[in-house]
Amino acid sequence: MKRIINTLFMVLILAGLVLAGGKKINVVTTLSTYADIAKKIGGDKVTVTAIVKGNQDAHFVRPKPSYAVLLNKADLFVSTGLDLELWAPTLVDMSKNPRIRSGQIGYVSASYGVQLLEKPAVLSRSEGGLHIYGNPHIITGPLNFKQIAANIATGLEKIDPANRDYYQANLKQFKDEVDQRLFGPELVHLMGGELLTRLALSGQLMDFLRNKSFGGKKLIDYLGGWLKEGMVFRGKKIVTYHKNWVYFRKMFGLEVIGYVEPKPGIPPSPKHVEELVREMRKNHV
């Protein structure tokens, strides 16, 4: 009981320090995508800084002292929470900021609740740079943005419970925008974003829309947004460099026939490149 009381006391102190005098919550994220989402949810209550730029490989970031200084001043730290940013724990240690450690009030795991794909059946270094929890490149799946946003909203509410309604309103608006952009406003109005999301994540959406009708039309005819624009690519074969497009591939119905990397993190040999080019020509990629 004493431990619980002490924990609650520290939470209240932290919230008071953050919000005293209208001070904005200082959010630091690993990826720039998380920063953009945090700005949407936090609005004018937050300042947000990202460590990894959009054109950088999140696997390989040197833990600079300047990043540790950023984290030292952070009220909230957002990372994927898997084994993508393996450099992040080192930075947290360097920051001397215990509030943003994993499991503490100032830490958000962006991947929490996301349906992870490609969970390995066998853990072996022979498979290259294996991600033991599943594919961590969650930002390539548009619907994952909604869960990421919900996680960030929860983190902000823990630090700033007085503005919970504000964060929840922004979260709802953000989720609605993702649904409208992905499925189109007409289909969202007809079926609702939550049902469409469940069908899409389970891989049943397209079959459902093609086989069901409403108002004398197939539901597929009501589809809009990015999915409608992407219909021209559905079923097309592609090649990627790294296994970081799995969530995008699943959502938009693409078929990956090969990777430039023979295994994650392993540079391609001339023989592998030759075989891949031959396969691409065979499949008209």
User: What span, in angstroms and rounded, lies between the C-alpha atoms of 125 and 21?
Assistant: 52
Which CATH number belongs to the domain containing residue 255 in this structure? 3.40.50.1980
Are 51 and 77 found together in one domain?
yes
Are 37 and 160 found together in one domain?
yes
- Domain interval for residue 265: 232-282
Q: What DSSP string runs through the chain?
A: -HHHHHHHHHHHHHHHHHHGGGPPEEEEEEEHHHHHHHHHHHGGGEEEEEEE-TTS-TT-----HHHHHHHHT-SEEEE--SSS-TTHHHHHHHHT-GGGSTTSTTEEETTTT-------SS--GGGSS--TTS---GGGSTTHHHHHHHHHHHHHHHH-GGGHHHHHHHHHHHHHHHHHHHH-HHHHHHH-HHHHHHHHHTT-HHHHHHH-EETTEEGGGG--HHHHHGGGGTT-EEEESSS--HHHHHHHT-EEEEESSSSTTPPPPHHHHHHHHHHHHHTT-
Are 57 and 117 found together in one domain?
yes
Return the axis-axis angle of helices 164-183 and 144-159, rounded to nearest 10°.
170
Q: Phi and psi for 27 in degrees, rounded to 5?
A: -105, 130
pLDDT of 11 reads 46
- pTM equals 0.87
Give how many domains the chain has, as a whole number: 3
Mean pLDDT of successive 10-residue segments in the chain (285 residues)?
Answer: 47 47 89 98 98 90 93 97 92 96 96 91 57 89 98 98 98 98 98 97 96 96 98 94 92 94 84 92 92
Are 173 and 241 found together in one domain?
no
Are 132 and 245 found together in one domain?
no
Are 18 and 159 found together in one domain?
yes
Are 74 and 39 found together in one domain?
yes
Are 168 and 237 found together in one domain?
no
Are 43 and 134 found together in one domain?
yes
pLDDT of 55 reads 87
CB-based burial of residue 60 (10 Å sphere; 0-12 exposed, 13-18 middle, 19+ buried)?
exposed
* Tens-place pLDDT, residues 121-141: 665 555 555 677 889 999 999
Are 121 and 242 found together in one domain?
no
pLDDT of 73 reads 96
CA distances from 30 to 139, 166, 221 (A): 12, 24, 40
pLDDT of 13 reads 46
- Report the C-alpha dihedral over residues 17, 19, 21, 22, rounded to 10 degrees: 160
Are 136 and 169 found together in one domain?
yes
Are 32 and 142 found together in one domain?
yes
